[in-house]
Amino acid sequence: MKFIAEAPSKAIITGEHFVVHGAWALASALPRKVRVEVNESDHLRVVSDRLSSSKAPGLRPIEHVVEAMAREFSFDSHLRVSIRSEIPEGAGLGSSAATMVATAAAIARLHSLDLQLPEIIRFATVGESEVHGRPSGIDTAICAIGGAILFKPGCAPKIVSFEGTRSLIITFSGKKRSTKRQIRRVAGVKETFPSLFECLTQAASEVSEMAAVKLTVSDMRGLGMSLSFNHALLSTIGVSNHRLDSLVDLVNSLGAYGAKLTGAGGGGSVVAVAPRGKVKSIVSGLRRRGFETFRAEIPVQGVKSWAAR
């Protein structure tokens, strides 16, 4: 018997980095997923379709999730954890968070643990903290909950509900980035310019709350303006670069209402919104220029798990 869980990827629509320092951020689950299968074994072994060796350092945080759950619920940690991912690593799309969430959910299914989403998120954060150092918690929250949420550390996530679907354009810059390094960079800016940083954090928080309203009422032009303003804030604290700024400019020149980096910055991906009639041509135009790009229809379901023979 195999026990399986799937968790979606994510995009932070507005508020990344500032959310670590107390701002509201808006995030959405994306349709690309991670699938994790677990079954009992004679020792703990984690394998991934993205890594050739089960001894790769990147798999150690997943082992920590298994071990934390085994300690708390007094079961043997000897499991085989198999990971298949549709999410590019280092692209700012929640690859590690989705993996941790799916791992925790699959183990809970294996041991018939009736865990609610906050508990799944808590165990997933064990591994996510090792990957990113000081995560805000938004990635594991959106990968578990799905849909779209407003998130602020210390507050319950606010579900952002809307009728119908919305389209996001996601394009990978082609450069992977280190979230830990970018978080340290932003902490340095805060230490050097505390008053300025406080003002920027407040502005980012207000942009996220405004963006949530625009998403709800399907004002995609207004949402695009929110994205553009947020990208300017992120550029101010040094997490954008020439490659990302040029990609944002390119997406806008192809007809988007607005675009910004999503995730840690320094590389990773760009998220954009556009008139529905232009989404297909923008995606095609970016692909012709060599960028891995896809259209994401939201909302998307959060983590789910099941048993299979």
Cα dihedral sign, 258-259-262-265:
negative
Query: In terms of Cα–Cα distance, which of 260, 253, 259, 307 is closest to 285?
Result: 253
139 is catalytic: yes
N-terminal to C-terminal alpha carbon distance within the chain: 5
Measure the CA–CA gap between 238 and 51, rounded to whole angstroms.
31
Residues forming beta bridges with residue 200, ordered by sequence position: none
Max CA pair span of the chain: 58
Question: How many CB atoms are located within 10 Å of the residue 217 CB?
Answer: 12
Would you say 41 and 79 are in contact if contact means Cβ atoms under 8 Å apart?
Answer: yes
Residues with Cβ within 8 Å of 254's Cβ and at least 6 positions away in sequence, in order, are 278, 281, 282, 285, 286
User: One of 49, 76, 114, 139 is an active-site residue; which one?
Assistant: 139
121's enclosing H/E stretch is helix 117-132
Give the catalytic positions in this structure.
Answer: 139
